[in-house]
Structure 1
């Protein structure tokens, strides 16, 4: 049987994503290749550890049936594996998945694969408007939670400084740290979503 030769034809973005994703999620589940092969055999779709190695090492493209079975065995979904972003993606400016426009991002591609949106211009703009709205609500929620924790610290006054090892004070500090991180992340995501929506709007007029 002729195997895929990576020296003759480089893997396309989706094949790279799936190959890397299998390794990533297998290691995340703390499974060896032999253990994954056993799980697959028990589920009725036998794939040898050697074939798994060939898929992970980019010596063999992953067939659709294998993709579905491996996704189930790893406790994830085909959409997650198909939209995985490898650390060594050759062209970070190129399309995330084979044949898609270069500006389609991971969450949007996953929504499309799952049938929750289409990739025509109008559908894409509607999807990104929904993302912007959702992220605005999320940012406002994080801001409200953070301000509440700040207020509790202020109410404690000197006690917060003198008794900083007290459980109540430590909990508040953790809430503030986590809240600041969550707010920062949601604001970054919101800014990127607004930028994507603006770009789509420009190209639609």
Structure 2
């Protein structure tokens, strides 16, 4: 359709690694999927086990999926100084995210406290249930942010030690 046809058979050959994928193929596939070649190159399935070595030949072995995607998208380079700066900025964003989740959670707790005894007496009432669900969601989000921040700070510490 756009001067780079790829048949279903050719696509199947690429998926089986029976046919090499060209840059033109990658661009055409990205266009059809309404995404970018960078996104396709940086896609790492959620259920993919942690590799024993680097995600791709020639990369430092400690590059994780988030940093790999940032590098592919041109948001960072992989020299030590840039990597440390990128992880510091990532940690800063995670701190802001954690603070936001904490603030949101405290607001829901305040709403629940305002209901007082009514919240206990009417625990099955939809408004009280919605508050409980918001608390569960908020606690989960806060926990996830804190875990991500701890892992990020650990990674940053390792990069600084290796420098």
Using the size of structure 2 for normalisation, the TM-score is 0.90
**Among candidates 63, 70, 91, match of residue 111 of structure 1:** 70
Runs (5+) with no aligned partner, structure 1: 1-40
1:200 pairs with one of 150, 159, 162: 159
CA deviations on 1:5-56 (whole Å, 9 max, x unpaired) are: xxxxxxxxxxxxxxxxxxxxxxxxxxxxxxxxxxxx3x44211011111222
Relative to structure 1, is the Cα distance of residues 44 and 158 closer, same or farther in structure 2, using a 3 angstrom cutoff?
farther
Structure 2 distance, partners of 1:96, 1:145, is 36
Question: Cα distance, 1:168 vs. partner?
Answer: 2.0
Relative to the length of structure 1, the TM-score reads 0.73
Distance 1:97 1:163, change over 3 A: same
SS at match of 1:194: helix
Q: Is the 8 A contact 1:132 1:193 kept in 2?
A: yes
Alpha-carbon separation, structure 2, partners of 1:183 and 1:80: 27
**Aligned pairs for 1:82-161 within 5 A:** 82-86=41-45, 87=47, 92-161=51-120
Aligned to 2:130: 171
Pick the aligned partner of 2:7 from 48, 69, 72.
Answer: 48
Say if 1:83 and 1:97, in contact at 8 Å, map to a contact too: no
Identify the residue that residue 10 of structure 1 maps to in structure 2: none
